[in-house]
A and B are shown apart, each in its own frame.
Chain A
Amino acid sequence: MSRPYPMSQPPESNHQDLSSSANDSFELDGNIEPDSGTGLPPFELEPPPATSDSSAQQVELYLPERDPEQPEQTPQLELEGMAPPVFAITLDDGHQARFQYAANLLESLEAQQIDVHFQCREGYCGSCRAQLLSGEVHYANDPLAWLNEGEILLCCCIPRSDVKIKL
């Protein structure tokens, strides 16, 4: 019900030619030209963090090596004649990101190198609680964690409009 990647492809298609499909036909998140017709303001992402020399075991424990904001890895129902809606995510510290393909806001932010606290990733621990300063979000499943007025749980919601949040 709330596994992080409920729509992941069946195993046989998981490994197919990611190298060839990853860089054509789709406009990838995290790799954005300022004026790509989405009406978003130009912005810069943080430089990627220095890669750490973690052991093989640690790599295995970290999140799967996939980018949830790449459409091939997060397939969605085709919408006829239109791309999935794109919403801008603005953080209170000025960072910007955008949401298009990921299963939830937490994944989307992580894919765009924005550090978010997390633990359970399915709505009960409350670690990824954030303040929604403006905009609207939608929950497919109601979260179990307590939420104060104006707070959202990033691991189980998707934006319904451009959002501004404070981590």
Chain B
Amino acid sequence: MAYTTFNRNEFDTFKQPMFFGEHVNVARYDQQKHKIFENLIEKQLSFFWRPEEVDLTNDRKDFLDLPDHEKHIFVSNLKYQTLLDSVQGRSPNVAFLPVVSLPELETWIETWSFSETIHSRSYTHIVRNIVPNPATIFDDITRNEHITRRAVSVTHYYDSFIELSNYYQQLGEGTHTVNGQAVEVNMHELKRRLYLTLVSVNVLEAIRFYVSFACSFAFAERAKMEGNAKIIKLIARDEALHLTGTQHMLQIIARGKDDADFAVIAEECKADVVRIFAEAAQQEKEWADYLFKDGSMIGLNKDILCQYVEYITNQRIAALGFDRIFEARSNPLPWINSWLNSDNVQVAPQESEISSYLVGALDSEVDTNDLGDFDL
């Protein structure tokens, strides 16, 4: 089904599924099939922040004073975060927008992806502050085999879905010959790959990011690199919202509240979901091995980080209604909660970062009685 930027068909938006229905046309929000996405958009907009708001001058001094093995931990972690947000800043748009069928979901995907681009910009802001030549850090992201191995696992499902989805848009369903090779395009496989992509995105946001947050906050817990931690706090606040977004998409699909075929596919993919979570946990543990290869830092070592991986994996898979993969354990890093709590981001309500402080919020309700003692 060829993509059109403005679908001329008339259709009932309430009968459309989230994906693979009619292409969207009017970006209207008066009729909403899943109002949750509008709520997520509003929340995300209220979170708006810019990296330049955070002062990083002390971080430069802190970084120079770090021992070499801690510099390795900090920089590698930062590279990984940069990789993750580079992927998330574009992939939801490229993968999901061509097949989305609800305006509110389309706008949520764009808002979501946009906020990831702010995260990417903040990494440049951080890197500029800690090293004289940012290229030494950024260039290594495509060269260092430990990072590139992470890139493969992060992008695999996206790429596989986008490939098939492109064929579908150009050629439609059926068996086609492309460059001498047979390509089979059918809706079942498309939806299966889309579902697995959503799962892997949820894993990226709900597990991989959190492991990297733990490292960033471990520095700040010792009063090092605090500016960096402030930025990561803002990023963590956004990511908490994004993972709620993917959890909603996955659950709406799995409960058949959207598309009956999709619910069947979700049921078929149950074992794959568990496998994706388990693989990601394993990859994060291997990454912990690389981070701490030259030595641990005070407050965080390989074992504790691996326990955190298991804890957070359990939490996230349980949120999707699956059984926990690992033995139930309590949070091995209890101090991370206070760093992840967005209400600790800052204190003065007139500042922009408190999400509940809405500009222009006023009580517009006027009762006739209010005018009782009003004389002309």
Residues of chain A whose beta carbon lies under 8 Å from any beta carbon of chain B: 1-4, 54-55, 57-58, 61-63, 115, 117-122, 124-127, 129, 144-146, 148
- Contact B341–A124 (Cβ < 8 Å): no
Contact of B241 among A121, A125, A146 (CB under 8 A): A125
- Contact A124–B330 (Cβ < 8 Å): no
- Contact B39–A144 (Cβ < 8 Å): yes
- Contact B36–A57 (Cβ < 8 Å): no
Which residues of A lie under 8 Å from residue B335 when comparing CB positions? Answer: 54, 58
Say how far B227's CB is from chain A's closest CB, in angstroms.
Answer: 14
- Contact A146–B356 (Cβ < 8 Å): no
Do A126 and B237 contact each other (CB < 8 Å), given the known contacts A117-B331, A117-B337, A119-B340? no
Contact of B354 among A3, A62, A117, A118 (CB under 8 A): A3
Lowest 6 A-B CB distances belong to which pairs? A125-B240, A119-B340, A61-B338, A1-B356, A146-B247, A145-B244
Say how far B49's CB is from chain A's closest CB, in angstroms.
Answer: 15
CA of A115 to CA of B335 in the docked complex: distance in angstroms?
12
In the complex, the chain B residue whose C-beta lies closest to that of A6 is B356
Say how far B302's CB is from chain A's closest CB, in angstroms.
Answer: 23
* B223 interfacial contact with A, CB 8 Å: yes
Do A2 and B315 contact each other (CB < 8 Å), given the known contacts A55-B223, A145-B244? no
Q: CB within 8 Å of A: which of B303-357?
A: 315, 319, 321, 330-331, 335, 337-344, 354-356
CA of A119 to CA of B206 in the docked complex: distance in angstroms?
13
Residues of chain B whose beta carbon lies under 8 Å from any beta carbon of chain A: 36, 39-40, 43, 221, 223, 236-237, 240-241, 243-244, 247-248, 251, 315, 319, 321, 330-331, 335, 337-344, 354-356, 358
- Contact B337–A146 (Cβ < 8 Å): no
Contact of B341 among A2, A57, A120 (CB under 8 A): A120
Count of A-B contacts judged by CB separation below 8 Å: 74
- Contact B319–A124 (Cβ < 8 Å): no
Say how far B111's CB is from chain A's closest CB, in angstroms.
Answer: 14
Show 11 residue pairs from A and B whose CB-CB distance is below 8 angstroms, ordered by the A residue: A1-B356, A61-B339, A115-B330, A121-B341, A121-B342, A122-B355, A124-B244, A126-B244, A126-B319, A127-B240, A145-B247
Contact of A144 among B40, B319, B341, B358 (CB under 8 A): B40
In the complex, the chain B residue whose C-beta lies closest to that of A59 is B338
- Contact B338–A146 (Cβ < 8 Å): no
In the complex, the chain B residue whose C-beta lies closest to that of A119 is B340
In the complex, the chain A residue whose C-beta lies closest to that of B318 is A129
Which residues of B lie under 8 Å from residue A121 when comparing CB positions? Answer: 341-343
Do A118 and B337 contact each other (CB < 8 Å), given the known contacts A61-B344, A126-B247? yes
Which residues of B lie under 8 Å from residue A62 when comparing CB positions? Answer: 338
Do A118 and B341 contact each other (CB < 8 Å), given the known contacts A2-B356, A58-B335, A144-B43? yes
Say how far B338's CB is from chain A's closest CB, in angstroms.
Answer: 5
Which residues of B lie under 8 Å from residue A4 when comparing CB positions? Answer: 343
- Contact B331–A124 (Cβ < 8 Å): no
- Contact B240–A124 (Cβ < 8 Å): yes
In the complex, the chain A residue whose C-beta lies closest to that of B354 is A3
Which residues of B lie under 8 Å from residue A129 when comparing CB positions? Answer: 319
Contact of A58 among B221, B240, B251 (CB under 8 A): B221
Which residues of B lie under 8 Å from residue A63 when comparing CB positions? Answer: 338, 341
Which residues of B lie under 8 Å from residue A3 when comparing CB positions? Answer: 343, 354, 356
Contact of B321 among A1, A115, A125, A148 (CB under 8 A): A148
Which residues of B lie under 8 Å from residue A57 when comparing CB positions? Answer: 223
In the complex, the chain B residue whose C-beta lies closest to that of A125 is B240
Query: A4, A115, A118, A124: which has the most chain B beta carbons within 10 Å?
Result: A124
Say how far B269's CB is from chain A's closest CB, in angstroms.
Answer: 18
Which residues of B lie under 8 Å from residue A122 when comparing CB positions? Answer: 342-343, 355-356
- Contact A125–B244 (Cβ < 8 Å): yes
CA of A4 to CA of B251 in the docked complex: distance in angstroms?
28
CA of A57 to CA of B251 in the docked complex: distance in angstroms?
40
CA of A62 to CA of B244 in the docked complex: distance in angstroms?
24
Say how far B214's CB is from chain A's closest CB, in angstroms.
Answer: 13
Contact of B43 among A61, A117, A124 (CB under 8 A): A124
Which residues of A lie under 8 Å from residue B237 when comparing CB positions? Answer: 120
CA of A92 to CA of B342 in the docked complex: distance in angstroms?
29
Which residues of B lie under 8 Å from residue A2 when comparing CB positions? Answer: 356
CA of A20 to CA of B319 in the docked complex: distance in angstroms?
45
CA of A62 to CA of B344 in the docked complex: distance in angstroms?
8
Which residues of B lie under 8 Å from residue A124 when comparing CB positions? Answer: 40, 43, 240-241, 244
CA of A126 to CA of B242 in the docked complex: distance in angstroms?
12
Contact of A120 among B251, B315, B321, B342 (CB under 8 A): B342
CA of A146 to CA of B355 in the docked complex: distance in angstroms?
20
CA of A2 to CA of B43 in the docked complex: distance in angstroms?
12
CA of A106 to CA of B183 in the docked complex: distance in angstroms?
53
CA of A36 to CA of B354 in the docked complex: distance in angstroms?
41
Say how far A71's CB is from chain B's closest CB, in angstroms.
Answer: 22
